[in-house]
Amino acid sequence: MPETAMWIGGFVRWLLKGCKTSLQDEVEGNLDATWGGSYNTENYIIGVVTVIIILGIVLPLVF
């Protein structure tokens, strides 16, 4: 599960950067961290927040 959140976070970060970096570097955490201690931690946090936002929007629309 944490790997999925890190992958989602890396993908979202890659999209936010305008697809100008390498998707593989974003997902694998090969870049320098800026605010979370490590790139994988940052991707994990971004992934969890993204899933919470998506569930918060999609679930109320479905039910």
The domain spans of the chain are 2-62
What is the chain's pLDDT, residue by residue, as a tens digit (63 residues)?
899 999 999 999 999 999 999 999 999 999 999 998 999 999 999 999 999 999 999 889 888
- pTM of this prediction? 0.90
pLDDT value, residue 39: 96
Q: What per-residue confidence (pLDDT) applies to 63? A: 83
| C-alpha span between 9 and 6 (Å, rounded) | 5
Assign residue 21 a region (left: φ > 0; alpha: ψ between -120 and 50; beta: otherwise).
beta
